[in-house]
Amino acid sequence: MKNPIFHANGIILISLLLSALFCLPVEAREDSARLVFQKTADIKKTLIYVVKKGDILGGILRRHRGEHRKLASYNLIRRLNPGIRDLNRIYPGQKIVLPVREPSALPELPSDFRKKSDSPPPNYGIKEKDRPPASESLPPAVQPLENARSETAMKTPPTAEHILGIIRPVVHRMKGTLIARGNYFIPLKEATQITIDCSLIPVVELDEGTTVLLDFGNRLSEDIKALIGQTWKNYAFVPGEELGDGLTGLKGIIRRSRNYEMSDVGSPLVLLPKPEIRIFPDWTITAKTTAVGASYRQALFLLGSNEKPLPGEARSFLEKNGLVVTEISGDRAVTGPVLLKATPVTTDLRGLKGIALAEPLLKALGETPVASSEIVLFDQARNGFHLSITADLLIRRAERRFVIHTKRLPEQFVRIMKEGGTEVIPIEEGASGRPLIEGLLQGLRIPVSFGHFSFRIPEDGNRPRLTATFPALRAMSGGEPIYLFDFDMLPDVQAFLNGLTGGRIAKY
């Protein structure tokens, strides 16, 4: 369950009305939190929201924050909706009462607390015009902390972008969010809030409800974590020790998820059994179910310095078949170019027999069969009489002619045609499948063989990223192979193999 998020300027601001915390010495709070009071206003009106498919409470609150300056805490929403037993489980069609509050007034922060930047981080909910006059002083409890912001900034360097450069695309492809600028508001009790500076402590929200704070500088004390955990059971924290690099940080995030798992891949993954398509990622992130109820699998490929990304067609094919692909080179995700190629049309010979099979097969091989051709055996001017036959198909290859015929011809006719440079290839009218194809192509002197053929990406190199293997008849005509298979294959798989094999495919 994601929490409501509100943004404001400043480093880590914690608004607590718990007097015990104010007793902590300044040194204990300096690198973990800033304490200020938060003024709240009474609720003047409410609104009714009808839950839609895919909604979670945190998302509902964020969508309304532009319209309503500040929404109440989780506990208040619970009181307004006594009929909903668990706000972590809301369903389409449910009606939720949301409180609408007047803008809150925060004390003016010291100048050292405000972040200096030509492009200030986004502010949500609390605007400058909502602040009280500058003459209004800070509560006594926080007066000693005015200069702590600059001291902390000098102690801890900014977040390493090269780490987030890996985490960001992976989380995004999990339908999650990485927030690394602006501020993140965590409501605790009725008038208690914690505001996180996301430039120092980025926040990851996963689609299954887990929220993970990346505490690069170990700023959050155990007391603060405990306070957050008491209200939000779905919150987790990754300490700086687990954020040495992007991959380690990513593993720390996934390990704290309630639904996802990240595994080192020791053997190739079988994407399809036939044709057998295997992939060789370095890591996988999997989930039994996602927010939409489907299983999830993401493959992470760590590219070496000389390795290129997968071709766009291969990546698109993998994702259409349920595998999200993220390729990482150095400290960033990369993608290969998408080359817009015309997809060859797959020849479909299924259910055809005899001449009805032979003619489209020969056309697919680049031949030009002529149907119902007259072949003259004896010429009246030369032999004194005329005798001819009508061939079912006639093929011309180089200096020879081939007659493909389904009716049995007298041996004398066959001999006469052969002496004249015409060979006869008899086929059965009811013949089909592999026997007919092999006999026809062998008779035409077209190389044909049966086997299990394998292809890989990349074509060269020691490390395959993807392989495809399938049984087929391979025929060579004009230097281009055609692979003929006799098993069911989805259209997108056919299109992918058409581009992968360097030739064409046909099904029979």
So where are the chain's domains? 347-443
Rounded Cα gap, residues 132 and 109, in angstroms: 10
Asked whether the predicted pLDDT for residue 508 surpasses 50, the reply is yes
Asked whether the predicted pLDDT for residue 19 surpasses 70, the reply is no
Is there a contact between 63 and 124 (Cβ–Cβ < 8 Å)? Answer: no
Q: Please state the rounded mean pLDDT for residues 464-473.
A: 95
CA 96 to chain centre: 33
The helix, strand and coil proportions of the chain, stated in percent and rounded to the nearest 5, come to 25, 30, 45
Q: Can you list the pairs that 487-490 forms with residues at least 24 positions away whose Cβ atoms lie under 8 Å? A: 487/274, 489/275
- Reference 459, options 448, 467, 451; nearest CA is 467
Sheet holding 387-397, edge to edge: 370-378, 387-397, 400-405, 422-426
Q: What is the pLDDT of residue 24?
A: 37
Least confident of 11-25, 87-101, 475-489: 11-25
The more confidently predicted of residues 81 and 333 is 333
Q: What is the pLDDT of residue 399?
A: 81
Asked whether the predicted pLDDT for residue 67 surpasses 70, the reply is no
- Reference 32, options 227, 191, 189, 178; nearest CA is 227
Q: Please state the rounded mean pLDDT for residues 249-276.
A: 94
The token pair at 327 is 């390729």
Asked whether the predicted pLDDT for residue 447 surpasses 60, the reply is yes
Q: What is the pLDDT of residue 120?
A: 47
Q: Please state the rounded mean pLDDT for residues 119-131.
A: 35
The more confidently predicted of residues 78 and 433 is 433
The token pair at 457 is 């990406």
Confidence band (pLDDT; 50, 70, 90) for 112?
Answer: very low
Asked whether the predicted pLDDT for residue 37 surpasses 50, the reply is no
Q: What is the pLDDT of residue 90?
A: 85
The more confidently predicted of residues 158 and 1 is 158
The set of residues, in sequence order, having a beta carbon less than 8 Å from that of 215 and lying 6+ positions away, is 201, 237, 238, 239, 240
Least confident of 57-71, 125-139, 265-279, 355-369: 125-139
Asked whether the predicted pLDDT for residue 25 surpasses 60, the reply is no
Asked whether the predicted pLDDT for residue 7 surpasses 60, the reply is no
The more confidently predicted of residues 341 and 284 is 284
Q: What is the pLDDT of residue 101?
A: 56
DSSP string, 344-355: PPPEE-TT--HH
Is there a contact between 139 and 80 (Cβ–Cβ < 8 Å)? Answer: no
The more confidently predicted of residues 150 and 89 is 89
Q: What is the pLDDT of residue 278?
A: 96
Confidence band (pLDDT; 50, 70, 90) for 339?
Answer: low
Confidence band (pLDDT; 50, 70, 90) for 74?
Answer: low
Q: Please state the rounded mean pLDDT for residues 322-347.
A: 79
Confidence band (pLDDT; 50, 70, 90) for 191?
Answer: low
Q: Provide the mean pLDDT of the chain.
A: 77
Helix and strand element counts for the chain (H, E): 13, 26
Asked whether the predicted pLDDT for residue 167 surpasses 90, the reply is yes
Is there a contact between 167 and 144 (Cβ–Cβ < 8 Å)? Answer: no
Q: What is the pLDDT of residue 6?
A: 37
